[in-house]
Amino acid sequence: MKIDTAEHSDYMVVSIAGEIDMYSSPALRDTMLSMVKKNVATVIVNLKDVKYIDSSGIATFVEALKKMLAYKGKLKMAQVPDRVMEIFNFSKLDKVFDIYGSLEDAAKS
Amino acid sequence: MKNNVKNSSVASKKKKDTVTVSAGYLRDIEKKVEDLETIIEVSSIISSTLDYSRLISIVMEKAKHIMQAEACSILQYDKESNKLVSEFAITGQLVTSNVLLKDRVTFDIGQGIAGWVAEHLEPVVIKDVYLDERFYRKANQMNNFETKSLIAVPLVGRRGLLGVAMVMNSKDKGHFSDYDAGIFQTFCVQISAAIENSRFYTESVQMEKFRQGLEIASVLQKSFLPETPAFRKGNLRVSATNIPAEKIGGDIYDFLEPVSGSIGVLVGDVSGKGISAALYMAKIISDFRYKSKMIERPEVVFNRLNEGLSNSPMGMFLTASYFVVNVNTGQFTVSAAGHPPFLWVTNSGVKIMDIPSGPPLGILQYEYTSSEFTLKSGDSLLILTDGVFDAKNTSGERLGFECLVSFVKEHREKDTFVQAIIDFVQDFSNGAEMSDDITLVELKWQ
């Protein structure tokens, strides 16, 4: 798994590539929690190049979301691939995360 | 006659091989033999010492003695921090290890003489450390010992650098000689082997303790699941198959009788794996049993469970489906919380039951709902966790939900179709490591 972060004027983008599973999610957790620590108002997660996500990866986003909600921050998912969307649909995570088709849509809303 | 010829030839060869050596050279050879004998003797002691602290203590004492040195120090290489750590040193008659343990001295690779030796993996003999620019002068202040001359040798094992061994200040000479360095290097080969053996031993003891802990956790976890994986009540036959990916898993199933004439069946999957998932699963099972007593409505049980799990650590959550079946009528009510659809197998086909579902439990405040259906004779409900269709083969491909459904459609008429599914998933994996737990529960209405 590869993680890239990019800072924009009023949001940050976390781009992830590869498989997010129990072995790679600790690194993702470090990235997400470092943003939570800085009280970043909006984090957009770009999932375009994610091949698979397991429940430990989802839990990492859930933890970040819960912590961000405490300071009224927003966690947005963008460019979710079909395979990952299937997992999100099965798990009804569309009721948990805000999901957007593109990074622009996520940034605008 | 032949014998005489032979003897004469040997005598002539002996005469030819005779060499005259000086008394000084003989003394040197004798000393080398003595020193090597001492090293062999000491080696047998250290190679049988597996306790690391004791081993280092013996090694330093013996090194000091063999090398006739005032002090000895062993610096360990810490791979994680890429530093040398000086934990033990013996100076004079005093063991200062306790003092140094409280205040560990660390050196970067390349820093000081020890750091140079670790970086270049070459031994050094230094007659006067103050004339050597690599010498780290603060080292003398740190351990209250004045180093004047030294030999430093890298300790290298099969897995790379182990540390650096140093002897300081020759007792009987002004400084160490190249001969001393050769002897110390020979001794350091034995020290490296002994340190490596001791580390392997410590690691194997720790692994064994961990393995035993997991065995106990595995037995304890099984005790949370129903005693028997199959039972029959009225027209309902329930059977469960659970295969954890590791010794302990995060999948849950449970059967209970919330009110007379009804059977409650819970199938769930805790996020994550390993010990944290297993502990969380134990808490959920205990909460579920308590909160489902006397309650026939699955959505009410989920609302209560969700509230109790709202402060779950590290974003942990539970996906689950909970069925309450009337064993007299076949009517059942089901609630889902982010769990994969269940399959309804009838005489005419297989339906994917993607019923209205709430998010997984433990994430958000949510009002869960339920759906009601009635089973007909011969119908089966197949409830599974995502480990079944997320099974991975050696090429990294995953089975997929659709492929699993196709298999169930083709084999639904078999009496043993649950076992056939398990075999199918395991054949697909074809020896690849299981990435997730597998749980399948069948509710059969007869």
Share of chain B above pLDDT 70, in %: 91
Whether residue B267 sits in one domain with residue B334 = yes
Whether B275 is covered by a domain: the verdict is: yes
Q: Does B101 touch chain A (CB under 8 A)?
A: no
Cβ atoms of A87 and A109 within 8 Å: the answer is no
Whether residue B239 sits in one domain with residue B138 = no
The CATH number that applies at residue B404 is: 3.60.40.10
Whether residue B305 sits in one domain with residue B197 = no
Instruction: Tell me which chain A residue has its CA closest to the CA of residue B339.
Output: A91
Cβ <8 Å between B435 and A93: no
Sign of the C-alpha dihedral computed for residues B38, B41, B43 and B45 taken in this order: negative
pLDDT band, very low/low/confident/very high, at B328 (cuts 50, 70, 90): very high
Cβ <8 Å between A59 and B314: yes
Whether B208 is covered by a domain: the verdict is: no
Average pLDDT score, chain B = 86
Whether B211 is covered by a domain: the verdict is: no
Whether residue B382 sits in one domain with residue B246 = yes
Helix (H, G, I), strand (E, B) or coil at B148: coil
- Give the residue from B184, B201, B218 where a domain finishes: B201
With a cut of 70, say whether residue B254 has pLDDT above it. Answer: yes
Whether B49 is covered by a domain: the verdict is: yes
Whether B215 is covered by a domain: the verdict is: no
Q: Which tokens in the block code for residue A103?
A: 């990074």
Torsions phi, psi for B336 (to 5 deg): -125, 145
> In B67-155, where does DSSP find H-type helix?
97-102, 112-120, 138-142
CB atoms within 10 A of CB B367: 9
| pLDDT (tens digit per residue) in B67-114 | 888 888 889 999 889 999 876 666 555 544 434 444 567 889 999 999
Whether B289 is covered by a domain: the verdict is: yes
Q: Which tokens in the block code for residue B180?
A: 């001393």
Q: Which tokens in the block code for residue B402?
A: 């659709």
- Pick B271's closest partner by Cβ from A55, A86, A95: A55
Cβ atoms of A48 and A102 within 8 Å: the answer is no
Total of domains in chain B: 2
With a cut of 90, say whether residue B175 has pLDDT above it. Answer: no
Q: Give the whole-angstrom CA distance, residue A27 versus residue A13.
A: 16
On chain B, the residues whose CB falls within 8 A of the CB of A63 are 314-315
Separation of CA B254 from chain center: 30
Q: Give the whole-angstrom CA distance, residue A5 versus residue A15.
A: 6
SS3 content of chain B, % helix, strand, coil (to 5): 40, 25, 35
Whether residue B241 sits in one domain with residue B151 = no
| pLDDT (tens digit per residue) in B27-37 | 888 888 888 88
Whether residue B237 sits in one domain with residue B175 = no
Whether residue B260 sits in one domain with residue B134 = no
Cβ atoms of B272 and A59 within 8 Å: the answer is yes
- Angle between helix A55-70 and helix A25-37 axes, rounded to 10 deg: 10
> In B235-340, where does DSSP find H-type helix?
274-291, 298-308
With a cut of 50, say whether residue B353 has pLDDT above it. Answer: yes
Cβ atoms of B221 and B278 within 8 Å: the answer is yes
For tokens 């994917």, the residue is B352
For tokens 């997320």, the residue is B390
Whether B207 is covered by a domain: the verdict is: no
| Structural domain boundaries enclosing B247 | 226-445
Instruction: Tell me which chain A residue has its CA closest to the CA of residue B313.
Output: A63
On chain A, the residues whose CB falls within 8 A of the CB of B273 are 22, 56
Separation of CA B215 from chain center: 14
Cβ atoms of A64 and A32 within 8 Å: the answer is yes
Torsions phi, psi for B434 (to 5 deg): -65, 130
List, as ranges, residues 264-293 from B with C-beta within 8 Å of A. 269-274
Sign of the C-alpha dihedral computed for residues B421, B422, B423 and B425 taken in this order: positive
- Pick B363's closest partner by Cβ from A22, A56, A96: A96
Task: Name the residue with higher pLDDT: B358 or B1.
Answer: B358
Q: Give the whole-angstrom CA distance, residue B234 versus residue B33.
A: 89
Query: What's the pLDDT at B142?
Result: 62
Instruction: Tell me which chain A residue has its CA closest to the CA of residue B360.
Output: A91
Cβ <8 Å between B363 and A64: no
- Pick A22's closest partner by Cβ from B272, B316, B386: B272
With a cut of 50, say whether residue B3 has pLDDT above it. Answer: no
Whether B155 is covered by a domain: the verdict is: yes
Q: Give the whole-angstrom CA distance, residue B57 versus residue A85.
A: 60
Mean pLDDT, rounded, for B104-131: 91
Q: Domains, chain A, ranges and CATH?
A: 2-102 (3.30.750.24)
The CATH number that applies at residue B92 is: 3.30.450.40
Task: Name the residue with higher pLDDT: A19 or B99.
Answer: A19
Whether residue B32 sits in one domain with residue B120 = yes
Whether residue B234 sits in one domain with residue B194 = no
Whether residue B270 sits in one domain with residue B122 = no
DSSP collapsed to 3 states, chain A: CEEEEEECCCCEEEEEEEEECCCCHHHHHHHHHHHHHCCCCEEEEEEEEEEEECHHHHHHHHHHHHHHHHCCCEEEEECCCHHHHHHHHHCCHHHCCEEECCHHHHHHC
Q: Give the whole-angstrom CA distance, residue A30 versus residue A13.
A: 15
Query: What's the pLDDT at B124?
Result: 94
Q: Which tokens in the block code for residue B6?
A: 């032979």
Whether residue B153 sits in one domain with residue B113 = yes
- What is the DSSP pairing of strand B160-170 with strand B69-78? antiparallel
| pLDDT (tens digit per residue) in B129-174 | 989 888 877 766 666 678 889 999 999 998 899 999 999 899 888 8
Query: What's the pLDDT at A26?
Result: 92
Q: What does R_g of chain B's alpha carbons equal in angstroms?
A: 36
On chain A, the residues whose CB falls within 8 A of the CB of B339 are 90-91
Cβ <8 Å between A55 and B337: no
Whether residue B196 sits in one domain with residue B240 = no
